[in-house]
Amino acid sequence: MEKPSKIAPAKGKLGILLPGMGAVSTTFMAGVELVRKGKSQPVGSLTQMGTIRLGKRTDARSPLIKKFVPLAELPDLTFGGWDIFKDNAYQSAAKAGVLNPQDLEKVKPFLSTIKPMKAAFDRDFVKLIDGPNTKKGKNKYELALQIKEDIANFRKTSRASRLVTCWCGSTESFVKPEEVHSTPEKFIEAMQSNHPAIAPSMLYAWASVTSGVPYANGSPNLSVDIPAIQRLAHDHNVAICGKDFKTGQTLLKTVLAPAFKARMLGLDGWFSTNILGNRDGEVLEDPGSFKTKEESKLSVLEYILQPQLYPQLYGKMHHKVRINYYPPRGDNKEGWDNIDIFGWLGYPMQIKVDFLCRDSILAAPIVLDLVLLLDLAQRAGMRGIQEWLSFYFKSPMTAPGLYPEHDLFIQSMKLKNTLRWMKGEDLITHLGQEYYD
């Protein structure tokens, strides 16, 4: 791809469309409003608090990222979304129980105005929850056209000059790519015939991309990770990325596993279990939905450790992932890991990690960064898969045949170098030999 000759300015409002207005979406919207009102800080957001080094270390040039590239400003963000429940964003946030009542009260007037549109929903893909606020249509294509109409109406009523969609809905039952996902034409035929391999999240992806709206996939669902949607993204000059927000346990895996590999420490096994009590945990009680999440979580170690290159160190590693729905824990997830490693002469060692995290608190700033950076990519004329945003995902999308980079530090370097590239700055290699010549 050629370097952008010019990045269009972030003029006007940026509309954020959120399929799924549960814990993550409402925590994100409430947080943005609290920051806008000067009541809190955007902790965890690279676009708001991060800096980027430019030039040599001796140049002392490290501006804030939001001052370096032309991102949309927080006051210009406006929100909409879909959900199977009729609760407005305030009611949904209160039920989710992520933010305390004192913080929610500060943004109650704002959140109360955000009401969900009727959702495209299919119990075949999310079996353990149901709600009354759903669309009706004779086939999936009709539902997708209704979503397109929602997008057009939101663009008009919000007076947004640009839109971004970020999927924050539930994990769907496991689906493998099929022939119906191969081309835009076959995909439309499959929607019209109600093909069982067309999931609701794909309808939102199709509707967004064909409406010229960038799309981020925050779940492990296939959604935009199929050839038909990727082709449409190129044809409509739309930026897409995914999949599955990298929040708690997997975030730590992409930090620890690169450390073991860098020091050539072996790994016998890695056992991970999660305890969570939010709607996500409830949905994942269904084996089909768990299979989708498991695939996303299990791929990380294989790609980072490359057992085919280091069979003595990682060829026999045993990686097990468990997720347990435990309602008393709510959104405060516990990720527990037992890691069996070995070192010099094969002597065994163990590492235990107990991460008592807040799932939506970790996810909310990811949503903010993704919508701002996707909008930036769109204004820079970048289309199709945005692999440079892998930093935010458990299972990053790549070009066909290309393995994904999971190492958090490689992902971070890739993201910042892409921003430097977009602005015509020298890329940072960290070679540093010039300081010693």
pLDDT of residue 124: 83
Which structure tokens are listed for 234?
């190129």
Q: How far apart are CA 390 and CA 233, in angstroms?
A: 18
pLDDT digits (tens, 9 = 90+) for 233-276: 999 999 999 999 999 899 999 999 999 999 999 999 999 998 98
Q: How far apart are CA 352 and CA 333, in angstroms?
A: 17
The b-or-e profile of 346-372 (16+ CB within 10 A means b, else e) is eeeeeeeeeeebbbbbbbbbbbbbbbb
pLDDT of residue 2: 65
- Residue 290's closest CA among 231, 355, 220? 220
3-class DSSP state of 115: coil
Q: For residue 279, is pLDDT > 80?
A: no
Q: How far apart are CA 2 and CA 18, in angstroms?
A: 31
pLDDT of residue 290: 65
pLDDT digits (tens, 9 = 90+) for 165-182: 999 998 898 889 999 999
- Residue 164's closest CA among 173, 177, 176, 155? 155
Angle, alpha carbons 15-20-26 (nearest 5°) = 70
Cα diameter, the chain: 71
More confident residue, 290 or 56: 56
Q: Are 31 and 42 in contact (CB under 8 A)?
A: yes
pLDDT digits (tens, 9 = 90+) for 375-403: 999 999 999 999 999 999 999 999 999 99
Q: What is the DSSP letter of 9?
A: P
What is the per-residue DSSP string for 331-348?
Answer: T--EEEEEEEEE-GGG-E
Q: How far apart are CA 220 and CA 229, in angstroms?
A: 16
Average pLDDT over residues 45-51: 98
**Count of CB atoms within 10 A of residue 318's CB?**
10
pLDDT of residue 123: 84
Average pLDDT over residues 56-61: 95
Q: For residue 313, is pLDDT > 70?
A: yes
Binned at pLDDT 50, 70 and 90, residue 333 comes out as confident
pTM (2 d.p.): 0.94
Percent of the chain with pLDDT over 90: 82
Could you give the count of Cα atoms lying within 13 Å of 231 in the half-sphere of its Cβ? 10
pLDDT of residue 7: 96
More confident residue, 416 or 2: 416
Binned at pLDDT 50, 70 and 90, residue 330 comes out as confident
pLDDT of residue 297: 64
Binned at pLDDT 50, 70 and 90, residue 343 comes out as very high
Of 128-137, 332-341, 350-359, the least confident: 128-137
pLDDT digits (tens, 9 = 90+) for 87-112: 999 999 999 999 999 999 999 999 99
Q: What is the DSSP letter of 264?
A: T
- Strand bridging mode 77-83 / 13-19: parallel
Q: For residue 434, is pLDDT > 70?
A: yes
pLDDT of residue 174: 86
| Helix ranges restricted to H, 113-174 | 140-158
pLDDT of residue 5: 72
**Count of CB atoms within 10 A of residue 145's CB?**
17
Which structure tokens are listed for 422?
């977009």
Q: Are 373 and 389 in contact (CB under 8 A)?
A: yes
Q: How far apart are CA 102 and CA 114, in angstroms?
A: 19
pLDDT of residue 87: 98
Binned at pLDDT 50, 70 and 90, residue 40 comes out as very high
Q: For residue 417, is pLDDT > 80?
A: yes
- Residue 393's closest CA among 426, 369, 375? 369
Could you give the count of Cα atoms lying within 13 Å of 137 in the half-sphere of its Cβ? 22
* Cα torsion 199, 292, 242, 244: sign: positive
More confident residue, 124 or 307: 307
* Cα torsion 52, 419, 243, 150: sign: positive
Q: Are 200 and 188 in contact (CB under 8 A)?
A: no
